[in-house]
Every structure is written in structure tokens, then in C-alpha cells.
Chain A
Amino acid sequence: GAVVSQHPSRVICKSGTSVKIECRSLDFQATTMFWYRQFPKQSLMLMATSNEGSKATYEQGVEKDKFLINHASLTLSTLTVTSAHPEDSSFYICSAPLGETQYFGPGTRLLVL
């Protein structure tokens, strides 16, 4: 099956710093990728749709200046959490579609101290 990777798998940072998370489709191209946030014991919340060659589309209530998304190529999307605060601590997961199926990355655990 299709493989999607994320890097890093885990990151700890100080409050006020920025953190970049990469999402890569390893064996297929994706003009669209999705970024989700998952709180403990809860479902996934779609944050934004990353579009190659154009601006990302953000879901209602998600701050676009806080969560910067760049879809640099057909296999790479990055999510930058700017000026991170403890409330941004969460599990961030990306996905990329191949046909009608979404393939998910393994997730990135962010802890902001």
C-alpha cells in the first residue's frame, strides 16, 4: 500500500518557538494533503487542506497565521506551528489521498513546555 511519512515523530520545544513538521508521500504524488490534530482519547479534527502550488484551505476556527502550511512539491507538505504555546501540545497527523483512499502518516507528538 501507499506510504506516508512524518518527521519528526516527537518534538519538545519551549514556549514561543516555532516547530516545523514534514509530511511526505513516499511512493506516490499528492496534489492535496490534509493536516489533522488529535487530542487525547478523541477523534481527529481536520485543521486544513494543503494544496500543491496554491494556498492552504483552513477549517473554521483554525488560525492560518498560527499554523502555516506549505505544499512545496507533489510529495511534501509542511506544517509550522508558530510561536508555540502549551495549548498547542497535541498529536498532529497528516494524510494524502491515493484514489479514493486516504493514507495517514504515523503522527507527530508535539509537547510545548
Chain B
Amino acid sequence: GNSVTQMEGPVTLSEEAFLTINCTYTATGYPSLFWYVQYPGEGLQLLLKATKADDKGSNKGFEATYRKETTSFHLEKGSVQVSDSAVYFCALSGNSGGSNYKLTFGKGTLLTVNP
């Protein structure tokens, strides 16, 4: 079955530091890959996505590249801000183009950015 393994946190950084959160996956077929962000007390918000190999998703300074050869989708940001403090979830969906939209989530990584 599908699975997602992401870097365990918590991760604590100073403002303007470089961020990497690792994510690897196991899946059959050609899944789409996502990063979601959850701010305290809120639901999940889509941060970025990639639907095929070598695609790069980007949003708000965050980037992740769909690497089929290493089955990875690592999240990066060059300079984090205090407002980036949240829990980040890596996820994959079922077979691309199919009717199965179920998401498989990683366990989440708590990021705290200090001023």
C-alpha cells in the first residue's frame, strides 16, 4: 500500500535560516504529491503540489521537487520567518487521473521559527 515517511520533528530554527523537511514515499502507479500546512488550531491548507515526476511545486517561498528516482518530495525554503511556524504534512494521493482521491499523510513535522 501507499505510505509517506517524513522527517520527525520538532524542528527549531532562527529567522532567516534555511529549511529542509525530508519526505519520501512508497506508492504504486503515479501518485500526486502534496505539502499541507496546519497553523495552530486550524485545519490544513494546501501549500504546494506536484503531479508528475520532475515537477516543482512552489508557493510563499517554499519549494519541493517530485523526484521519482529517489521517491522523494523534500520541502525547502531559503529563509524562514516566524510566521512559518506550523505543522507541515507531506501527502500523496491515489493513482493520478483516477477517481481515488484518498490522501495518505506523513506524521507531520512541527516547525518553530524563533525571532
Contacts and interface: CB of A to CB of B under 8 A. Distances in A.
Interface of A: 1, 6, 32, 34, 41-44, 46, 49, 93, 95, 97, 100-107, 109
Interface in B86-115: 89, 93, 96-97, 99, 101-103, 105-108, 110
B105 A43 contact: yes
Interface in B11-35: 32, 34
Is the contact region of chain A dominated by helix, strand, or loop, or is it mixed? Answer: strand
A112 B41 CA distance: 18
A100 B44 contact: no
Size class of the B contact interface (CB-based, 8 Å): 20 to 34
A104 B106 contact: no
Interface of B: 32, 34, 36, 41-46, 49, 51, 89, 93, 96-97, 99, 101-103, 105-108, 110
Contacts of B42: 106-107
Contacts of B96: 100
Contact of A49 (B32, B45, B102): B102
Contacts of A109: 41
Q: Which of B36, B93, B102, B106 has the most CB of A within 10 A?
A: B102
Contact of B108 (A42, A95, A101): A42
A101 B49 CA distance: 8
B103 A102 contact: yes
B43 A106 contact: yes
B45 to A, nearest CB: 7
Q: Which of B93, B101, B102, B103 has the most CB of A within 10 A?
A: B101
Nearest to A2: B46
